[in-house]
């Protein structure tokens, strides 16, 4: 009987300990834990390399994450119209009537478009806007054309047909590229720039002369990958895609008469000559004679609904992308840190969110 009482006493103590432990575990902590937010976005493929590079840094700085699916600027504008995602990117302003009244533009990503090709030359080609316009429009069809040779003295150019590759999808990269051709070589590229290459093409893209000469692929990664498989090809996309596909990159002639490589410094110099309005839209100045300006520098606009549900997290995301920490994560990508008047516009735009 004595042993039984001891056993009962021990069981009671054990039960009390378990209850106390459960009560302690159930007690609310005095330190509140804020749940992280996973932001979502889509659109511009131009923005993908930078957004991929900056994911880890943003999470470390904010505790939040983001998922970006790309799809092209057209897909970003469409998603924005439908209220899908926390942010969407377009490489050209979204001025269509379908844009929601509460959606603003924030031009937070800046980088060059590269003209890339597969020739296996020892040094970069030098190309003017007039020559590039001639290649893409079809008046220049071989690599040893006198116009290309004149800009590349001493370079052995092959007497091979040029395989032109363009973006099939609605693309802000195409919009900026064709704006550049029209802006600097309007006598050759007579049509105004367009996000749809076929619409902006100065002639009939489906004419017999263009069959086999010019083909298409979707997305920046698509055109670069296709060019990487085709010797004597040429296309346009972000610098990072050229490196991934093993393509060479041309130096482009600016309005000052200098051939400039696509990099962050040249992009910043070109954007510095642009005008920007209160809506955050940039108008590029292709005739500005800035010595080191790279004339195919562009921005990608974040399309953000100021009444979105995750406004605080979206603001932290945009501020991080805008800061020097993001483009400096991988300088080889060629993205530029936004400064000066454009930075002031971005700051004002971001303040409107929430």
93-103 pLDDT, tens digit per residue, is 999 999 999 99
113-263, CATH topology level:
D-Maltodextrin-Binding Protein; domain 2 (3.40.190)
Domains 39-111+297-351 and 113-263 share a fold: yes
pLDDT tens, position by position, 31-76: 333 569 999 999 999 999 999 999 999 999 999 999 999 999 999 9
Output phi, psi for 143, to 5 deg.
-70, -25
**In this structure, what token pair is assigned to residue 2?**
């004595």
The C-alpha atoms of residue 240 and residue 176 are separated, in whole angstroms, by 17
263, 70 contact by CB (below 8 A): no
Tens digit of pLDDT for each residue in 221-237? 999 999 999 999 999 99
Q: How far apart are CA 187 and CA 82, in angstroms?
A: 39
3-state secondary structure of 300: strand
Percent of the chain with pLDDT strictly greater than 90: 84
**280: closest CA among 326, 238, 314, 322?**
322
Q: Where exactly are the structural domains of the chain? A: 39-111+297-351, 113-263
Rounded Cα–Cα distance for residues 333 and 109 (Å): 12
Mean pLDDT of the chain: 90
Instruction: Report, as an integer, the average pLDDT of 297-310.
Output: 95
How far apart, in whole angstroms, are the C-alpha atoms of residue 267 and residue 170?
23
Comparison of pLDDT for 240 and 330, the residue scoring more: 330
- Rounded CA gap, 53 and 77, in Å? 23
Q: Residue 279: which pLDDT band, with cuts at 50, 70 and 90?
A: confident
- CATH homologous superfamily of 39-111+297-351: Periplasmic binding protein-like II (3.40.190.10)
- State the pTM of this model: 0.84
Whole-number pLDDT of residue 4: 52
Tokens, residue 56: 């880890």
- pLDDT band at residue 214 using 50, 70 and 90 as cut-offs: very high
- Position 134 scores a pLDDT of 98
Q: What is the mean pLDDT of residues 115-143?
A: 97
> Exposure string (b/e) for 285-309, b if CB count within 10 Å is 16 or more?
bbebebeebbbbbbbbbbbbbbebe
Predicted confidence band of residue 240 (pLDDT cuts 50, 70, 90): confident
Residue 258 structure tokens: 């200098």
Residue 8 confidence (pLDDT): 47
H helix or E strand, kind and range, residue 43 = strand 38-43
Using one digit for the tens of pLDDT, what is the confidence trace for 136-177?
999 999 999 999 999 999 999 999 999 999 999 989 999 999
Residues 88 and 99 sit within 8 Å (Cβ to Cβ): no
pLDDT at 19: 42
pLDDT value, residue 123: 94
């Amino acid at each position: 009987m004595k042993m039984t009482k001891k056993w009962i006493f021990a069981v009671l103590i054990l039960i009390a300990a378990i209850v106390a432990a459960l009560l302690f575990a159930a007690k609310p902590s005095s330190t509140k834990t804020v749940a992280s937010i996973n932001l979502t976005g889509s659109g511009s493929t131009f923005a993908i390399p930078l957004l991929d590079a900056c994911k880890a840094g943003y999470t470390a700085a904010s505790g939040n994450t983001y998922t970006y699916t790309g799809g092209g600027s057209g897909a970003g504008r469409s998603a924005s119209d439908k209220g899908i995602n926390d942010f969407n990117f377009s490489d050209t302003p979204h001025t269509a009537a379908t844009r929601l009244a509460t959606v603003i533009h924030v031009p937070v990503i800046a980088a060059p478009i590269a003209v890339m090709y597969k020739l296996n030359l020892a040094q970069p080609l030098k190309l003017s806007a007039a020559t590039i316009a001639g290649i893409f429009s079809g008046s220049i069809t071989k690599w040893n054309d006198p116009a290309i040779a004149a800009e590349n003295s001493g370079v052995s150019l092959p007497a091979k047909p040029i395989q032109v590759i363009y973006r099939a999808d609605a693309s802000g990269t195409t919009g900026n590229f064709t704006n550049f051709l029209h802006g600097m070589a309007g006598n050759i590229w007579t049509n105004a720039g367009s996000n749809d290459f076929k619409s902006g093409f100065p002639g009939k893209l489906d004419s017999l002369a263009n069959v086999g000469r010019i083909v298409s692929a979707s997305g920046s990664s698509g055109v670069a990958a296709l060019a990487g498989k085709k010797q004597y090809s040429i296309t346009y996309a972000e610098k990072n895609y050229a490196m991934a596909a093993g393509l060479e990159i041309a130096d482009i002639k600016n309005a000052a008469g200098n051939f400039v490589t696509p990099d962050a410094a040249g992009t910043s110099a070109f954007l510095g000559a642009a005008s920007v309005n209160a809506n955050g839209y940039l108008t590029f100045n292709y005739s500005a004679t800035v010595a080191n300006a790279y004339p195919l520098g562009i921005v990608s606009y974040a399309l953000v609904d100021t009444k979105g549900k995750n406004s605080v997290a979206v603001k932290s995301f945009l501020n991080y992308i805008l800061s020097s920490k993001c483009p400096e994560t991988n300088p080889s990508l060629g993205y530029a840190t936004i400064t000066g008047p454009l930075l002031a516009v971005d700051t004002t735009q971001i303040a409107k969110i929430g």
